[in-house]
C-alpha cells in the first residue's frame, strides 16, 4: 500500500527520511565511527584541493567524486553542509612549471583552476560552498604562523619559518608513522639548517623572480601545509566535523603520490574515450577507501551500464507518455511497493555504512531491472490488447521510475537528455569506426540473415561485440548500444 498522505510514486521528502546512523572512517582511529556533527543539523567539511599546475588526473577524479557523494548524501540526510575546498594556487610545482613555460605563475594556476572546474562540471560534482585560494588569504596565513611562533612551536632561519616537530609530541599521530619513517627528500629538498630534518616550512623566504608577499619575517610565500590550516579555520573555525583529501595526502599533508596511476591514466585521455559520467560510475563501483583497479574493460562496463540506465528510464518515460496524465491515487502492486521500500531501506543502510556506494548501486540495479521488466510487460499487454486497466501498470512504472531517479540524483548519476548519443559517440571512437561504417556492417548483417547466411551474420555480430558494440533486434530493425564486456562483470 502507498504510504498515508503520499501519492503513489511520489519522491521521498527530503529531511524526513528514516533515521540511519551514518558511520565514516576516521583516519586517526583507523575505524568507521558514528558521525555526530558538533552542531546538530549542520556539517562543516574541509577538503584539501588541488595544486593547479597541470590538468587533472584520475586520482583527482577519484578523490573529488568521493567527497561529492558524501556532500550529496549529507544533504539527502537533511544536513546543512558548509563544504570548503581550497586551491593551492602558489607552490613550488606551479613556479617550476611556469618558469618552464615562460608564463606568470599566478596566471598558470588560474588557467588550470578553470580546467579543473570544467572537469568537475563534466563529472557532475556539485560546487562547494567556498573555494578559497591561498593567494587571497595571505593575511590569515601570516596570523596563524605568528600564533604558532608565539606558542614556541616554530622558529625562523634567515627569513624562513619552520615548524618544530620536536616541540609537538603528537606529530605523526594521524598517519601512524614512526619518526624513523619520516625522511625528507621526496617532495621537499633537505635543508641542513633545520633543527630536525622532519621540520617543515611554514613560510619560505622570497627568491628572485618568484611571487612573494610582505611578512614579519621578510618577503616570502606560505609553505605547503600551513595554507589549509589557515583557510579551514577562517571558513569553519578551529574545530570542524570533516577534514578530507586524497589517500596520498595522509602523510605528510594530512606522501606517497599515486605516481603510476597518474602517469598512466591522465583524466583527459580517459575522457577522450569515455564519457565523464561513465568515469564517475566506474569510480563509484569501488569503495572510496579501496584501491581502484583501472582497466579499459571496467570502463567499458561502466559505459554500457550507464547507457542501460539511461535507456531504461527513457523508455519508461516514453511508455508513460502514451497514456497521458494519470492520477496516481490507488495502491500499486504489493511486490513493486515492497521492492521500492526495500531499496530505500537498503540505500540508507549501505550509504550510511561509510558510503558503501558499490552495494547501493548493485541493489539499485535490481530496481532498474524491475523497471525494465515492468516496461516490457506493459508493452506486451498493449500489443496483445488484453489490458483493461492500463493505469495499474503505469502506476507501478511511475513509482519505480521516481525511486530510481531519486537515488541516481543523490549519487550524482542522473543522466542528461543528450547522454545516450554521447555514449554512442564515445563507443564508436573506441571501436575506431564512424556511424556510417557501423551502419554499413549492420546492413551487411541484415542482408546475410535475409539470405540465410547465418555464419556471416554471426561473424559480424561477434566482430562488433569484440569492439564494444552490441546489436539488438527490434520490430523496427536492428539497433545498437555500447556493450558491457562479460569480463567486467562484478568489477
Query: Residue 224: is its pLDDT beyond 80?
Result: no
**Residue holding cell 595554507?**
227
Which of 143-152, 224-233, 255-264, 371-380 is modeled with the greatest confidence? 143-152
The CATH number covering residue 368 comes to 1.10.730.10
Same domain, 476 and 457: yes
Q: Which carries the bigger pLDDT value, residue 41 or residue 472?
A: 41
Band of the pLDDT at 379, cuts 50, 70, 90?
Answer: low
**pLDDT tens for residues 312-368?**
888 888 777 776 655 555 567 788 888 889 999 999 999 999 999 999 999 888 888
Whether 301 is covered by a domain: the verdict is yes
Q: Which of 388, 420, 452 is the last residue of a domain?
A: 420
Whether 1 is covered by a domain: the verdict is no
Asked if residue 451 lies in contact with residue 258, where contact means CB atoms within 8 angstroms, the answer is no
- The Cα–Cα gap between 48 and 104 comes to 24
Lookup: cell for 106: 599566478
| pLDDT number for residue 59 | 84
Same domain, 180 and 68: yes
Query: Residue 188: is its pLDDT beyond 80?
Result: no
Same domain, 44 and 177: yes
Whether 13 is covered by a domain: the verdict is no
Same domain, 416 and 429: no
Q: What is the mean pLDDT of residues 459-481?
A: 86
| pLDDT number for residue 12 | 46
Query: Residue 181: is its pLDDT beyond 70?
Result: no
Same domain, 456 and 413: no
Q: Which domain holds residue 311?
A: 274-420
Same domain, 327 and 242: no
Ramachandran category for residue 190: left, alpha or beta (phi over 0 → left; psi -120 to 50 → alpha): beta
| 3-class DSSP assignment, residue 414 | coil
Whether 328 is covered by a domain: the verdict is yes
Whether 7 is covered by a domain: the verdict is no
Q: How much of the chain exceeds pLDDT 90, in percent?
A: 45
Q: Which of 265, 289, 314 is the last residue of a domain?
A: 265
Q: What is the mean pLDDT of residues 243-268?
A: 46
Same domain, 223 and 314: no
Q: What is the mean pLDDT of residues 116-122?
A: 95
- The Cα–Cα gap between 461 and 466 comes to 9
Asked if residue 469 lies in contact with residue 431, where contact means CB atoms within 8 angstroms, the answer is yes
Asked if residue 161 lies in contact with residue 191, where contact means CB atoms within 8 angstroms, the answer is no
| pLDDT number for residue 15 | 47
Nearest to 228 by CA among 161, 154, 119, 132: 132
Whether 9 is covered by a domain: the verdict is no
Q: What is the mean pLDDT of residues 288-311?
A: 86
Q: Which of 240, 265, 290 is the last residue of a domain?
A: 265
| pLDDT number for residue 316 | 80
Same domain, 189 and 72: yes
Our count of domains for the chain comes to 3
Whether 108 is covered by a domain: the verdict is yes
Q: What is the mean pLDDT of residues 193-222?
A: 91
Whether 313 is covered by a domain: the verdict is yes
Band of the pLDDT at 265, cuts 50, 70, 90?
Answer: very low
Q: What is the mean pLDDT of residues 32-54?
A: 94
Same domain, 311 and 345: yes
Q: Is 123 exposed, middle or buried (0-12, 13-18, 19+ CB in 10 A)?
A: buried
Same domain, 137 and 59: yes
**Residue holding cell 605528510?**
252
The CATH number covering residue 30 comes to 3.40.50.620
Band of the pLDDT at 168, cuts 50, 70, 90?
Answer: low
Query: Residue 259: is its pLDDT beyond 60?
Result: no
Sheet holding 242-244, edge to edge: 80-85, 42-47, 242-244
Same domain, 209 and 298: no
Query: Residue 29: is its pLDDT beyond 70?
Result: yes
Which of 163-172, 216-225, 379-388 is modeled with the greatest confidence? 216-225
Instruction: Specify the pTM.
Output: 0.81
| pLDDT number for residue 380 | 63
Same domain, 278 and 236: no
Amino acid at each position: 500500500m502507498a504510504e498515508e498522505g503520499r501519492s503513489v510514486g511520489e519522491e521521498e521528502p527530503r529531511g524526513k527520511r528514516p533515521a540511519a546512523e551514518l558511520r565514516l572512517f576516521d583516519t586517526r582511529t583507523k575505524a568507521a565511527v558514528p558521525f555526530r556533527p558538533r552542531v546538530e543539523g549542520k556539517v562543516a567539511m574541509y577538503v584539501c584541493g588541488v595544486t593547479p599546475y597541470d590538468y587533472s588526473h584520475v586520482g583527482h577524479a577519484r578523490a573529488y567524486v568521493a567527497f561529492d557523494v558524501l556532500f550529496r548524501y549529507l544533504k539527502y540526510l537533511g544536513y546543512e553542509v558548509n563544504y570548503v575546498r581550497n586551491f593551492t594556487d602558489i607552490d613550488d610545482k606551479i613556479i617550476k612549471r611556469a618558469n618552464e613555460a615562460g608564463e606568470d605563475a599566478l596566471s598558470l594556476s588560474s588557467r588550470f583552476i578553470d580546467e579543473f572546474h570544467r572537469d568537475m562540471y563534466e563529472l557532475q560534482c556539485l560546487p562547494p560552498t567556498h573555494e578559497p585560494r591561498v593567494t587571497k588569504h595571505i593575511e590569515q596565513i601570516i596570523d596563524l604562523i605568528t600564533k604558532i611562533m608565539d606558542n614556541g612551536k616554530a622558529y625562523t632561519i634567515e627569513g624562513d619559518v619552520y615548524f618544530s616537530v620536536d616541540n609537538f609530541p603528537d606529530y605523526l599521530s594521524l598517519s601512524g608513522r614512526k619518526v624513523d619513517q619520516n625522511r625528507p627528500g621526496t617532495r621537499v629538498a633537505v635543508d641542513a639548517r633545520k633543527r630536525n630534518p622532519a621540520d617543515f616550512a611554514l613560510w619560505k623566504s622570497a627568491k628572485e623572480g618568484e611571487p612573494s608577499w610582505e611578512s614579519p619575517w621578510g618577503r616570502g610565500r606560505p609553505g605547503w601545509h600551513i595554507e589549509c590550516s589557515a583557510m579551514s579555520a577562517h571558513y569553519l573555525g578551529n574545530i570542524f566535523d570533516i577534514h578530507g583529501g586524497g589517500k596520498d595526502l595522509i602523510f605528510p599533508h594530512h606522501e606517497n603520490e599515486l605516481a603510476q596511476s597518474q602517469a598512466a591514466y591522465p583524466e583527459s585521455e580517459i575522457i577522450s574515450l569515455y564519457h565523464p559520467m561513465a568515469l564517475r560510475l566506474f569510480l563509484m563501483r569501488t569503495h572510496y577507501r579501496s584501491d581502484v583497479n583501472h582497466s579499459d574493460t571496467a570502463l567499458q562496463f561502466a559505459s554500457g551500464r550507464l547507457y542501460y540506465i539511461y535507456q531504461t528510464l527513457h523508455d519508461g518515460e516514453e511508455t508513460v507518455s502514451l497514456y497521458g496524465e494519470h492520477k496516481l491515487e490507488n495502491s500499486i502492486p504489493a511486490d513493486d511497493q515492497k521492492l521500492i521500500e526495500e531499496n530505500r531501506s537498503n540505500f540508507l543502510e549501505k550509504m550510511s555504512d561509510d558510503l558503501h556506494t558499490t552495494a547501493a548501486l548493485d541493489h539499485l540495479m535490481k530496481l532498474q531491472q524491475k523497471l525494465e521488466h515492468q516496461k516490457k510487460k506493459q508493452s506486451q499487454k498493449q500489443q496483445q490488447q488484453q489490458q483493461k486497466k492500463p493505469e495499474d501498470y503505469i502506476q507501478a512504472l511511475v513509482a519505480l521510475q521516481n525511486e530510481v531517479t531519486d537515488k541516481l540524483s543523490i549519487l550524482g548519476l542522473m543522466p542528461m537528455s543528450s547522454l545516450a548519443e554521447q555514449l554512442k559517440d564515445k563507443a564508436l571512437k573506441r571501436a575506431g569506426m564512424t556511424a556510417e561504417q557501423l551502419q554499413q556492417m549492420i546492413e551487411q548483417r541484415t542482408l546475410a540473415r535475409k539470405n540465410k547466411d547465418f555464419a556471416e551474420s554471426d561473424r559480424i555480430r561477434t566482430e562488433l561485440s569484440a569492439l564494444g558494440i552490441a546489436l539488438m533486434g527490434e520490430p523496427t530493425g536492428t539497433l545498437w548500444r555500447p556493450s558491457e564486456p562479460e569480463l567486467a562483470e562484478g568489477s
